[in-house]
Amino acid sequence: MSYNEFPSRLLENAVNEFASLPGVGRKTAFRLVMNLLRRNAEDVKRFGESIIKLHGEIHYCKVCHNISDTEICNICNDEKRDRTIVCVVENIQDVMAIENTRQFRGMYHVLGGIISPIEGVGPADLRIESLEEKVKAEGIKEVIFALSTTMEGDTTNYYLFKRLSKYNINLTTLARGVAIGDELEYTDEITLGRAINNRNPYQQ
């Protein structure tokens, strides 16, 4: 069967929506849609409502910008966390990866990306101003640069270093147990846990 010709416009529209997701080709999209068609109406309704609620009701934590069901996430609400240490990450997946190691008990700051001129992402597109304000106001002693070990990640680390080095805090990076070019979310938990525990002072 050609995945460009469909017997139903409704089927085609559903396949097109699934195929618009990253990493989902039309063949996979067709299989997903057909799977939904074989389910009972309640299952499909629940599936649809979960997506609608995700988009309409999700919050981004006012403190660290992590995804949350409330205005302040569970991590920032946890009084047992060390509020003097902030781990700077690129995205929410990185928060999840580090939390899975159970080796870090500080706070987070989600930048929302990394500096990438090729993709048109500059410092103004990231949550850098709020990070600096946090360092100014909250008695932070250490900021950990936990960005991907790529050229873009290193560029962002350097930019953050230039912005924050004027404050009397420790600026550190993950130990190089994380291979060059790796993204944190794809690093195994043991390696990532060791990289956090054995972090080093940032060097230009």
Indicate if the pLDDT at residue 27 is higher than 80: yes
Indicate if the pLDDT at residue 2 is higher than 60: no
The CB-side HSE value for 86 (13 A sphere, CA atoms) comes to 26
Q: What residue segments make up the domains of the chain, in order of their start? A: 9-57, 60-201
- The matching CATH number, chosen from 3.40.1360.10, 3.10.20.30, 3.40.50.1100, 3.40.50.880, for 60-201 is 3.40.1360.10
Q: Does 9-57 match 60-201 in CATH topology?
A: no
Centroid of chain to Cα 93 = 4
pLDDT at 176: 64
Which of 13-17, 130-134, 190-194 shows the lowest mean pLDDT across its residues? Answer: 190-194
Which CATH code is given to the segment(s) 9-57? 1.10.8.420
Q: Taking a C-beta distance cutoff of 8 angstroms, is the pair 177, 136 a contact?
A: no
Helix spans in the chain (H): 9-19, 26-38, 41-57, 74-77, 92-101, 128-137, 151-164, 189-197
Q: Which residues contact 31 (CB under 8 A, 6 or more apart)?
A: none
User: How many whole angstroms separate alpha carbon 139 and alpha carbon 168?
Assistant: 10
- Quickly list DSSP for 55-82: HHH-EE-TTT--EESSSS-HHHH-TTS-
pLDDT at 44: 93
As a whole number, the mean pLDDT across the chain is 88
pLDDT at 193: 77
Look up tokens 């089927």; give the residue: 11
